[in-house]
């Protein structure tokens, strides 16, 4: 069940700030929380891990922000709301030129791209990488950012329309996984070598093919389960396919400290402000229409980022 309820919001705690939301980011992880794939501590529980707005109250020990600051955050579930009390240490101030909608549409996704391409597997100019679900919110940001860095992107998607959108955002080659053999096409596009890294947010349905796309000592970076979590596998498979690496990454381990958070958000805001990365908001829903929003997201009919508007 997913429904709207009126609740009383208490005063911010000593280390909290109340943020009046102007835009709420929607991410696939929200559907995992709703379905129970990622269990929540108790039910009922709010959903949503991303929001942007204006600080309207602060606790007595808060030094990071003041009333009136425009901010955005990624935090534990609860952003599907008109306002919310947030740990002030998780708030980032929005620079001039970055709107609340752009921040809510890009902070989680953009910091995800940042850590994946700079810190999980540090790409270099001239590399070729494979990115699954290239026409989604994370994928479109990644295609632009990687293109800006001089990296050739091979993306996968499911329709001609999504393929065109990916190309418009810097993706060099697009594979339609509904009727093409992804691994065979990647090998053909790389003269048989494969790619040094595959970024995979799809999970179960792409896991085996992703391994088959990798070059010797390549890395499969899993960061989502849109088709479900991959099943158990024999670690010797990694040896047989070329001494491969596999990591299952999570944003929260890469922005665990205040310094890491500011680094990641700063890199994102920099490429957006310079125009190297443009944030594509594909659809907006009213906050009360969260159910329809999730239905659209899970049916894979969305493109780019999705917002809920209070």
| Structural element, H or E, at residue 218 | strand 214-222
* Same domain as 168, residue 213: yes
Query: Pick from 222, 248, 274: which residue ends a domain?
Result: 248
Last residue of a domain, one of 203, 226, 248: 248
Which of 119, 31, 56, 15 is CA-nearest to residue 306? 31
Residue 74 backbone phi and psi in degrees, to 5: -125, 125
Domain boundary among 248, 266, 286: 248
H-helix or E-strand containing 293? helix 290-298
Cis bond before residue 44 (omega within 30° of 0) = yes
Q: Give the CATH number of the domain where residue 232 resides.
A: 3.40.50.720
What pLDDT is stored for residue 197 in this prediction? 98
**Is 230 a member of any domain?**
yes
| pLDDT for position 303 | 81
Judge if 217 and 240 occupy the same domain. Answer: yes
| 206: three-class secondary structure by DSSP | coil
The rounded distance, in Å, linking the Cα atoms of 50 and 11 is 20
Q: pLDDT at position 37, please?
A: 85
Three-state DSSP at 25 gives strand
Question: CA–CA separation, 266 vs 270, rounded Å?
Answer: 6
The answer to whether residues 42 and 75 belong to one domain is yes
CATH assignment of the domain containing 56: 3.90.180.10
Whether residues 89 and 165 fall in one domain: no
pLDDT tens for each residue of the chain, 310 residues long: 889 999 999 999 999 999 999 999 999 889 989 999 889 998 899 999 999 999 999 999 999 999 999 999 999 999 999 999 999 999 999 999 999 999 999 999 999 999 999 999 999 999 999 999 999 889 999 999 999 999 999 999 989 999 999 999 999 999 999 999 999 999 999 999 999 999 999 989 999 999 999 999 999 999 988 888 899 999 999 999 999 999 999 999 999 999 999 999 999 999 999 999 999 898 999 999 999 999 999 998 888 889 999 9
DSSP notation for 239-268: HHTTS-EEEE--GGGTS-SHHHHHHHHHHH
- What Å distances lie between residue 56 and 11, 12, 23, 65, 265, CA to CA? 11, 10, 15, 10, 22
25 in the same domain as 85: yes
In whole angstroms, give the CA distance from residue 83 to residue 48: 12
Q: Are residues 192 and 168 in the same domain?
A: yes
Domain containing 167 equals 125-248
Q: Which two tokens stand for residue 191?
A: 């003269």
Is 79 in the same domain as 143?
Answer: no
Which pLDDT score, from 0 to 100, does residue 149 have? 98
Q: For residue 61, give the nearest of 12, 7, 2, 120 by alpha carbon.
A: 12
> Which phi and psi angles does 182 have, rounded to 5°?
-60, -50
Contact of 15 with 89, CB cutoff 8 Å:
yes
What does DSSP say about strands 214-222 and 245-248: parallel, antiparallel, or unpaired? parallel
Task: Report if residue 4 sits inside a domain.
Answer: no
Whether the Cβ atoms of residue 147 and residue 170 lie closer than 8 Å to each other: yes
Same domain for 271 and 196: no
The pLDDT assigned to 43 comes to 87
Tokens of 54: 């204006």
189 within a domain of the structure (yes/no) = yes
Token look-up 């919310």 returns 84
φ/ψ of residue 43, rounded to 5: -130, 145
DSSP 10: P
Buried b (16+ CB within 10 A) or exposed e, 59-89: beebebbeeebbbbbbbbbbbbbebbbbbbb
Number of structural domains (the chain) is 2
């Amino acid at each position: 069940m997913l429904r709207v309820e009126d609740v009383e919001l208490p005063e911010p705690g000593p280390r909290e700030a109340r943020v009046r939301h102007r835009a709420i980011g929607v991410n696939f992880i929200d559907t995992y929380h709703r379905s129970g794939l990622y269990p929540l501590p108790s039910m009922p529980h709010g959903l949503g891990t991303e929001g942007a707005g204006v600080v309207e109250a602060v606790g007595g020990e808060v030094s990071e922000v003041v009333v009136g600051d425009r901010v955005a955050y990624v935090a534990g579930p609860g952003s599907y709301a008109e306002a919310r009390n947030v740990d002030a240490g998780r708030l980032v101030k929005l620079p001039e030129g970055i709107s609340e909608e752009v921040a809510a549409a890009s902070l989680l996704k953009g910091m995800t791209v940042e850590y994946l391409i700079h810190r999980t597997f540090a790409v270099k100019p001239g590399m070729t990488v494979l990115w699954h679900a290239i026409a989604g919110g994370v994928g479109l940001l990644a295609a632009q950012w990687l293109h800006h860095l001089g990296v050739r992107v091979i993306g996968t998607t499911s329709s001609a329309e999504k393929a065109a959108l990916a190309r418009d955002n810097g993706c060099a080659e697009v594979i339609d996984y509904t009727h093409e053999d992804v691994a065979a096409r990647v090998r053909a596009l790389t003269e048989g070598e494969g790619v040094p890294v595959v970024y995979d947010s799809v999970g179960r349905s792409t896991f085996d093919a992703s391994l088959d796309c990798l070059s010797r000592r390549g890395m499969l970076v899993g960061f989502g389960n849109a088709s479900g979590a991959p099943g158990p596998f024999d670690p010797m498979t990694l040896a047989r396919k070329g001494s491969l690496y596999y990591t299952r990454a999570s944003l929260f381990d890469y922005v665990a400290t205040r310094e890491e958070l500011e680094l990641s958000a700063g890199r994102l805001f920099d490429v957006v402000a310079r125009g190297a990365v443009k944030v594509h908001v594909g659809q907006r829903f009213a906050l009360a229409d969260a159910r329809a929003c999730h239905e659209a997201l899970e049916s894979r009919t969305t493109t780019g980022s999705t917002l809920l508007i209070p």
